[in-house]
Amino acid sequence: MSLRRRLLVTLGLSLSVLWLLAAGWLLLQLHHSVRRTLDQRLEASAHMVAGLVSQLPSGVWQQKIKTALSTPPGKGVACQISSMRGDVLLRTRGDSRALLDHTPRGFSQHTRNGTHWRTYSEAANGLVITVADRLHERRQLQTRIVLAAVLPFLLALVGSLIIGWWGIRRGLAPLEGLRGELARRDPETLTPVVVDAAPAELVPVIDTLNELLLRTDDAMQREQRFTSNAAHELRTPLTAIKTHVQLARRVEGTRARDALENAEAGVARLQRTLEQLLLLSRVESAQPWPEAPSASVAETVQAAIADLGLPESFAADAAADDTPLALPVELAVELAVAALRNLLDNAVQHSGAAASVALHLLHRSDAVIFEVIDAGAGAAPPEPRRFERGRRSTGSGLGLAITMAIASRFGGALEMIRREPRGLCARLTLPRHGHGSA
């Protein structure tokens, strides 16, 4: 069921039930009020007749009257005056003869010849005065009053439903506008949605939708960059491997062996590039990173140095700093090692020798800082660019981009500081365990 229909049904049922309950209560009150008013009319008629009778000479009603006097019948009303002995002195003409005889004092109801009557009888000045009216005419009067009272209720109910339908339709118009805006959009259009005169309740929905569109656009751009980068980076080693394999087929001896070795080196380079691309894609994705034990400073430094094949003295120099090597960082071992290894590899590639590269360890209450300093001639880029290599570099150009992505995702930072007169300081800040967020 649509939201509009659901609101209409809910509002319609609510209004109908409330109006019908109010109408039922009104009808019940009308019924009691009309009955009480008509009974008061009967009682007042009897009092009026008694008052008129009291104005006559006292001996008039004491005489024996052989023939009862009669008055023209009233519409639906009958009246009778009788003595205390039961002699009828005056009555209205019509079918009230048997009705008005021997009626009890006060109010009562009787049925004569299929006609229902309401009677009232009282004694005054030695006479019994009885008045009555037809219940049928009472019901007709009540029906007319009910129609006069209920008709505005029905009109108000119908009017409320119409106004409610119009108000719901008008209130949901921004939703219809949002639906139309999305329906007209090209699937590749991920710009923010704009809805004119959006109500306050719809603004958070539109804002959330626009944030989703921006994140989707960012994800698509990452996928496009990944595809473009992969195609760009894999084309060269694949071409080189193909060339070396073709050359090995055509030559023999040392040249063939050299061509196969070059092809094998190209395969190794291609493998490293693929691993870097896959790691970058995983780090930049919005998917949560699998739970893994946190890395310590010592594990990170030792694994990064071992992966690059650097001399053991390099690790000894790093351990000589005053930073406790058992401090944990808020990263899995795989990511912490990859981030530091890329910085060290970049420094070695640009400086040309591991001997000119230094690793300093610092720590704060909430973070561990790795400073990789080299003596190369490279300037500090404002932001690491992918596939941008130095003249001496043989890597893929993804190392710094991966390190920055890892640091950014886990609440760290990467700074590239140019040193004078030459060299570069890459400062990697990683949050300590319990102080960061993934």
DSSP per-residue codes, 62-90: TSPPSS-EEEPPBTTEEEEEEETTS-EEE
- What pLDDT score does 347 carry? 85
Q: Which residue has the tokens 């570099």?
A: 393
Per-position pLDDT tens, the chain of length 438:
566 777 777 877 887 788 788 878 877 887 888 888 888 888 888 888 888 877 776 665 555 444 444 445 555 677 888 777 767 777 776 555 556 666 778 888 877 777 778 888 888 777 888 888 888 888 888 788 778 777 887 888 788 878 888 887 777 777 777 777 777 777 777 777 877 777 777 778 888 888 888 888 887 777 777 677 667 666 767 777 888 788 888 888 888 888 888 888 778 777 777 777 777 777 776 666 666 677 788 888 888 888 787 776 676 666 666 667 778 887 778 888 888 888 888 888 877 776 778 888 888 888 888 988 887 765 445 445 444 444 444 445 577 888 888 888 888 889 888 877 778 888 999 888 765 554
CATH 3.30.450.20 placement within the chain: 3-55+64-159
At a CB cut-off of 8 Å and minimum separation 6, what does 32 contact?
none
- What pLDDT score does 99 carry? 60
Residue among 68, 41, 69, 33 at smallest CA distance from 133: 41
Please give the CATH topology (third level) of the domain spanning 203-284: Helix Hairpins (1.10.287)
Specify whether the CB–CB gap between 131 and 46 falls below 8 A: yes
Angstrom distance (rounded) from CA 333 to CA 302: 11
- What pLDDT score does 392 carry? 44
Q: What are φ and ψ of residue 429, in 5° steps?
A: -110, 120
At a CB cut-off of 8 Å and minimum separation 6, what does 63 contact?
none
Angstrom distance (rounded) from CA 241 to CA 55: 138
Please give the CATH topology (third level) of the domain spanning 3-55+64-159: Beta-Lactamase (3.30.450)
Q: What is the DSSP string of 181-193?
A: HHHHS-TT--SPP
CATH 1.10.287.130 placement within the chain: 203-284
- What pLDDT score does 382 carry? 43
CATH 3.30.565.10 placement within the chain: 294-431
Angstrom distance (rounded) from CA 115 to CA 113: 6
pTM of the model: 0.47
Angstrom distance (rounded) from CA 54 to CA 50: 6
- What pLDDT score does 49 carry? 81
Q: Which pair of structure tokens corresponds to residue 328?
A: 């944990």
Domain 294-431 has CATH 3.30.565.10: yes
Report angle CA 386, 391, 397 to the nearest 5 degrees.
20
Angle, nearest 10°, between helix axes 399-409 and 333-351?
140
Q: What are φ and ψ of residue 358, in 5° steps?
A: -130, 145
